[in-house]
Amino acid sequence: MTLTPAAPPEPNRSAHLRGRRIAALVRCHRTYCPKALDLAHALREAGFHEVLFVADETHGRVEAGDFEKVPHTLASLADLGLRIGDPGRALWYFGDYAFYGSVLGRSSSDFWLMVEYDVGLRDRRSDWWRKLRLALEEPRFADLDMVGPYLHQYRRTNFLHGYDIAWKILFAITGLSARAGDTLFHDRIREVATGAVDPRGTHCELFVPSQLRMAGGFRCADLNELVPGMVARPAFSTAMICPFGHEDLVAGNCGLIHRVVDMEEYVEKGPRVFARAGNLELLRKQLDALLGRGLSASVAAEMLARAANEAHRLERRASTSS
């Protein structure tokens, strides 16, 4: 069934008068992640009202350096009344839970910009984060309730939903006003009580923009509307990955890259990412460049072998299902 949204709270008029306080939230689940800490420092330098580490500590303590940390676990989210489902994929599938489990009612800000730890600057000397902070503070966006990359009507069937018109974003960067976060949290609670078309619940990339659009009275925008050229495919997509410190390996002209990860995670995930994207040639090009920057030949060969195995597995599965 389609979940009818709750009536939206009134906009915060005092925030309009004094100017919005924009919080930057670094979303991270890895116990020690230099890439996440670098992102937090970049957001601090950009002048956000506060920078918080939104840490999933289900599997252990997350190192946050000198940044304030607001942790959550699957158990603490379940205590809020939220659906968990498959524990192994819950916080990927329900990425919006990080807002409710960490900052709802605990932050002094009016608008929260949540950035996944694996979002990186193409040029780390650039001021894209400052540009975004300034845009969010502009009077013309004073009534903005949600922002995310690639906001568009969703017509595919990858995820089940009950919306007459569904909307989708890429959840790597998501901004919510306090009133949007409050509404979405209560809609998630009611989703548990009333059920959803998909018994697993509604994927965050559909749930957040679709609920707000269906409710009416919420202003939603694409990230590039605020800062033109900030993101573009394929550099900013789930089909891209590169190691932290080697962002120059990714072609394109946009300001941000997704995903940028520490080398250990790149070695672990890179073969699967490029195999699923059908782009083993790009993996080979990256590895050829990295061989000249200290990556061992044995690691590169092992990554290529895993990528080929994953590509063959996906081909077999596709042929079986067709």
61-92: pLDDT as tens digits: 999 999 999 999 999 999 999 999 899 999 99
Q: What would the two tokens of residue 109 be?
A: 């800000």
* Residue 1, pLDDT score: 42
Cβ atoms within 10 A of the Cβ of 149, count?
23
Cβ atoms within 10 A of the Cβ of 231, count?
25
* Residue 224, pLDDT score: 98
* Residue 111, pLDDT score: 95
Q: What is the DSSP string of 122-145?
A: SSTTS-HHHHHHHHHHSGGGTTEE
Residue listed under structure tokens 């548990």: 192
227-268: pLDDT as tens digits: 999 999 999 999 999 999 999 999 989 999 999 999 999 999
Please check the confidence at residue 4 and state whether its pLDDT lies above 60.
no
153-169: pLDDT as tens digits: 998 766 667 788 899 99
Coil, helix or strand for 22? strand
* Residue 5, pLDDT score: 58
In this prediction, residues 8-15 reach a mean pLDDT of 54
Please check the confidence at residue 152 and state whether its pLDDT lies above 90.
yes
Name the least confident of 40-49, 85-94, 169-178, 186-195.
186-195
* Residue 102, pLDDT score: 74
CATH 3.90.550 in the chain is located at 13-226
* Residue 21, pLDDT score: 92
Please check the confidence at residue 217 and state whether its pLDDT lies above 60.
yes
Q: In angstroms, rounded to a whole number, what is the distance separating the alpha carbons of residues 151 and 232?
A: 12
* Residue 17, pLDDT score: 42
Please check the confidence at residue 14 and state whether its pLDDT lies above 60.
no
The CATH code belonging to domain 13-226 is 3.90.550
Question: To the nearest whole number, what is the mean pLDDT of the chain?
Answer: 91
